Chain A
Amino acid sequence: MSAAVDSLASAVRKQEQGLLNCVHCGFCLPACPTYRRLGDEADSPRGRLYLMQAVVEGRLDPGAEAFQTHIGRCLGCRACEPVCPSGVEYGQLLELARQVGGNARRPPVFSRVLLRVFGTAWLARPAMFAGRVARATGLPALLTRIMAGRRPPKGARLAVAMLAASAPPPPLPSRTEDPPATVPRRLDAAKPTVGVLTGCVQAGLFARVNQATVRVLQANGYHVVSVPNQECCGALHAHGGDLEAARSLARRNIVAFEAARVDIVAMNASGCGAAMADYGSLLADDEAMASRARAFAGKVRDISQLLADRGPVPGGTVPLKVTYDAPCHLLHAQGVADPPSRVLDSIPGLEVVPLPGAAECCGGAGIYGLTNPRLGGWIGSDKVQSVLGTGASALVTGNPGCMMQIGAGLALTGAGIPVLHLVELLDESYRRGGLYGNAGG
């Protein structure tokens, strides 16, 4: 028996153990963005688990249209997990199902190419560079303005709008009567050593978020060290069912962060955070790495948690009305609900209004907008309408995929509402508050 078939068989056995927890109660149905919109139980978590079960029982060929379509249509937002009384680990089963599905029928060429690029540093860097160059020409922004107000963009047009949306936001408003710079509070506790995952998209298109992350961590008493030789986290590969590529990236990351001797692995992209917090189960069958992977996963913390643990230290005034969208991989996959609000509440002058449906996926979901343009666009435009309804002048979130997805959607409405990463906002507050040594304002 070939190694691939072996691993498939063991994946199937594992699925069976996990699937049997599902008693078919249906409590997950309303939590699922695809079921809510399509009304077909095959597009619900319960239905997808049923299809997986049918494959395991030998009643359904994983190459069948039914399996490919409905497993492929899952956003992977994992909103079904926190509402499941039986504790079905849906996210892990989905990855295994995608692997089984991908073995039965090769995924479309462009998603394979995309994953290959993200997973290979020497391919990712020039690709991101090309993206930055294109973005710097101002052409994507111009095209986005031209496309504004037309029907939801798909494929290449969506990609262009997303690239434009990754550009730095315009200067935020300030008050002339800003209070004088506050003196940073001294933190006497021993400084934990933190390594930041720089990520592929984050490093490529959101370098400013990474820089802000380092500054706000330092301002909150963390000792930040650089971690050379780190790689893409492998989240997109795992979600796409390429578990071998995900495992290989995971091993390299574990080695890199161990070498840097960090106490904490800080995440500013919740999709990466959820994937890395799962390294323990991803590498559970790798004898050499299993315990190291578990130890590594235990060190993974989202930036909002690290900041909330320290207060965070208050900064200067940012007089802005914002609303917050919870990334699925932070809220559902990692169960981090309060820390982002605590960070926002700490910023003087900031008005935070609730976003209806904040717990629902924005439709970004990795490369979903490219693989399922119609449904992704539908879910995305619902999110955009919800943001517009709040009257906020900026949207705050914590994941590059969400930033680009919602940012593209907002840009296309022409409403001029920027999307900010949580740390960008805090960083601006610190700059104004003089926490970085310069004068406030």
Chain B
Amino acid sequence: MVPATLAKSLVGICGRDGVILDEERLLVYESDALTAYRHRPGAVVLPRSTEQVQGAVRAVAEHGLPIVPRGAGTGLSGGAVALDGAVVIGTARMNRILNIDAPNRRAVLQPGVINAELSEAARVHGLYYAPDPSSQTTCTIGGNVAENSGGPHCLKYGVTSRYVTGLAVVLADGSLVKLGGQGRESPGYDLVGLFVGSEGCFGIATEIEVGLLPVPEGVRTLLGIFDRIDDAGQAVSDIVAAGLLPAALEIIDGPTIRAVEDSVFAAGYPTDAEAALVIEFDGMEAGLDHDVERAAVLCERAGAREVRSARDEDERMALWKGRKKAFGAMGRIAPDLLVQDATVPRTTLPSILRGISDIGQRYDLVVANVFHAGDGNLHPNILFDRRDEHELERVERASKEIMQLCVDSGGTITGEHGVGLDKKHHMELIYGPDELDAMWRVRRVFDPGGVMNPGKVLPEDTIPSEDTVLPVGTGGD
């Protein structure tokens, strides 16, 4: 519950229907798509304009309360969870595409625009927005900017940071700054680059300029079926080593295949297989079939039981839907899941997958893998039931061991989901005090008062000693 004076000024800024204060209605906002963390916000504000965001930020900051930006609440690292009665500023109502400048292949949009809807709107101009997180039908561009989101096709096309060219950002004191813009290289420091991936700790982007790409002339999608997941991992390494540049290389393991095939998004993956490898090539028609043939041969050499190609667009879409909805389909196996996110050198995939499977067995947990194999970006999904406290504890320990395994093999603790709440204590696995210190200093430049999304990304016990901001605890609703 926020102080009455704050409640009153928020209503004054965003209107009665733009502020949620009722404790019971606030329940709905207590977690994002990572349900292991639940904390009820003090209030939720749903502004409709940059000015309302500025006003709300100013009012909350004056009362010394923390602020948590939130898009569609589909994040998987607890980044949009409100600790210590923070006020959530949701961007769902700021969902307009302000301009599509087709000749310059640019679009300017509000943060609440849904990723896939931008591509849909751009398609009439023969353009699309390349980064395609699996949640693209529901996640917002604002959230993508905050998390520097990736997606299956980022193997060839790169992640969000490559496409964001300009931002209007409301800072922690309510002031508005314009970073970059007009698609050109902005002189001086690349503040847009710094902001993308800042996980809500640097401010709230209220206008986002992105680059669009022409829709590729041709697309080919292959499905390799493997009886051993190691072989699928090997095929991935071989395809990349051969100099091919697929748009996407995705592995879906046996347990995931069976969950997906049981769902409305059944893609026709054989349920007795231990791995399905989805390979996609796109670009100019000329040469596509040649690439497809070479990839198919490499799959067969690596031990594929079968390699088939999507015959038409419907079949292709089915293969992708199965892959992209896999996370949601896990609900068919267990009530809760922890979607992990780590990146490892591609060549270590087979041994890491074996290691993860061992960890799962040791903790008596089902781990289902579905991941961007081409990038070495793993998503081990640990399945559990939160009502079983002992199991939850095993999940946390297994999760930490998986992270350690990935780091030990030269990898890192996240590929695209962000650090958020879930991984801040893994940060010390990869960074020493000096690096963390540097990150704290950068954060304080944007947010000297420690108002923006505190308790996320950087562990409190690494706060530099000269920092005057009191650490924000991580407990309590």
**A42 adjacent to chain B (CB < 8 Å):** yes
How far is B260's CA from A85's CA once the two chains are assembled, in angstroms?
A: 8
Please state if B72 and A39 are interface contacts (CB–CB under 8 Å): no
Do A21 and B72 touch across chains, with their CB atoms under 8 A apart? no
Cβ-based interface call for B35 (8 A): yes
Instruction: Please encode chain A, from 30 to 65, with 1 for each CB lying within 8 Å of some chain B CB and 0 for all others.
Output: 100001000111100001001100100001100011
What's the minimum C-beta distance from A360 to chain B, rounded to whole angstroms? 14
Least CB distance, A170 to chain B, in whole angstroms: 36
Counting residue pairs across A and B whose Cβ atoms lie within 8 Å, the total is: 110
Q: Are A40 and B327 in contact (CB under 8 A)?
A: no
Bound Cα distance from A54 to B28, whole angstroms = 9
Task: Report chain B residues within 8 Å CB of A87.
Answer: 263-264, 331-332
Tell me if A's interface is mostly helix, strand, loop or mixed.
Answer: loop
A39–B92 Cα distance when bound, in Å, is 5
Known: A23-B328, A27-B325. A41 touches B93 (CB 8 A): no
* Known contacts A23-B35, A86-B263: A66-B331 contact under CB 8 Å: no
Known A-B contacts A20-B335, A21-B331; A47 and B264 likewise in contact (beta carbons under 8 Å): no
Interface residue tally on A, bucketed by range: 35 or more
Chain B residues positioned under 8 Å from A59 (CB to CB)? 27
- Decide: A86 near B331, CB < 8 A? Known: A25-B74, A26-B138: yes
> How far is A67 from B335 in the complex, measured between Cα atoms in Å?
23
Cβ contacts B299-330/A at 8 Å (1 or 0 each): 00000000000000000000000000111111
Task: Say whether B332 contacts A26, CB under 8 Å.
Answer: no
Check if A85 sits within 8 Å of B27, measured CB to CB. no
A84 to B335, CA, bound (A): 14
Complex interface: chain B residues within 8 A of A27 (CB): 135, 137-138, 325, 328
B24 proximity list for chain A (CB < 8 A): 54, 60, 64-67
Among A26, A54, A69, find the residue whose CB has the most chain B CB atoms closer than 10 A: A26
Contact B264 A66, beta carbon cutoff 8 Å? no
A66 with B135, Cβ < 8 A, contacts A40-B20, A40-B46, A86-B330 known: no
B328 and A39 contacting across the interface, CB-CB below 8 Å: no
Given contacts A27-B138, A65-B22, contact A39 B331 (CB under 8 A): no
* Other-chain residue from B29, B72, B326 in contact with A26 (beta carbon distance below 8 A): B72
| Complex CA distance for A35 and B327, rounded to whole angstroms | 22
Please indicate the chain A residues that have their CB under 8 angstroms from the CB of B74 in the complex. Answer: 25-26
Chain A residue with Cβ nearest B92: A39
Least CB distance, B417 to chain A, in whole angstroms: 13
Residue on B with the closest CB to A36?
A: B95
The answer on a CB contact under 8 Å between A85 and B95 is: no
Chain B contact residues (Cβ within 8 angstroms of A): what range? 35 or more
Given known contacts A20-B335, A27-B328, A87-B332, is B28 in contact with A42 (CB within 8 Å)?
Answer: yes
The verdict on B265 contacting chain A, using a C-beta distance below 8 Å, is yes
The smallest C-beta distance from B20 to any residue of chain A, in angstroms, reads: 7
On chain A, the residues within 8 Å of B265 by CB distance are 85
Flag if B327 contacts A23 (CB, 8 Å): yes
B130 at interface, CB cutoff 8 A: no
Verify B137–A25 contact, CB threshold 8 A.
no
B197 lies within 8 A of chain A by Cβ: no
Select A23's contact among B28, B73, B90, B337, beta carbons within 8 Å.
B337
When chains A and B are docked, how far (Å) is the Cα of A20 from the Cα of B335?
5
Within 8 A of B (CB), among A373-427: none
B462 to chain A, nearest CB (A): 30
Q: Who on chain B is nearest to A54 by CB?
A: B27
0 or 1 for each of B68-82: is its CB under 8 Å from A? (1 = yes): 000011100000000
Q: Is the CB of B27 within 8 A of A60?
A: yes
Given A39-B90, A85-B328, the answer on whether A26 and B28 have CB atoms closer than 8 Å is no
B112 to chain A: closest residue by CB: A39
Q: Is B354's beta carbon under 8 Å from chain A? A: no
Q: Are B332 and A21 in contact (CB under 8 A)?
A: yes
Asked if B31 is at the interface (CB within 8 A of a chain A CB), the reply is yes
What is the bound-complex CA distance between A23 and B36, given in angstroms?
A: 11
> CA–CA, A65 to B24, complex, Å?
8
For residue B205, CB closer than 8 A to chain A, the reply is no
Task: Report B41 CB to chain A, min CB distance, Å.
Answer: 11
B27 near A88: Cβ-Cβ < 8 Å: no
How far, in angstroms, from A54 to B90 measured CA to CA in the complex? 22
**8 smallest A-B Cβ distances: which pairs?**
A85-B328, A86-B331, A39-B92, A66-B24, A20-B335, A85-B325, A39-B93, A25-B328
22 sampled A-B residue pairs with Cβ under 8 A: A21-B332, A23-B330, A23-B331, A23-B335, A24-B31, A25-B74, A26-B73, A27-B138, A39-B112, A41-B29, A42-B20, A50-B27, A54-B27, A59-B27, A64-B24, A65-B22, A66-B22, A69-B25, A85-B325, A86-B328, A87-B263, A87-B264
Q: A39-B92, A82-B264 are in contact. List 18 more A-B contacts (CB 8 A).
A: A21-B331, A25-B138, A25-B327, A26-B139, A29-B138, A35-B92, A41-B28, A41-B29, A41-B92, A42-B25, A47-B28, A51-B28, A54-B27, A59-B27, A60-B24, A66-B24, A85-B260, A86-B328
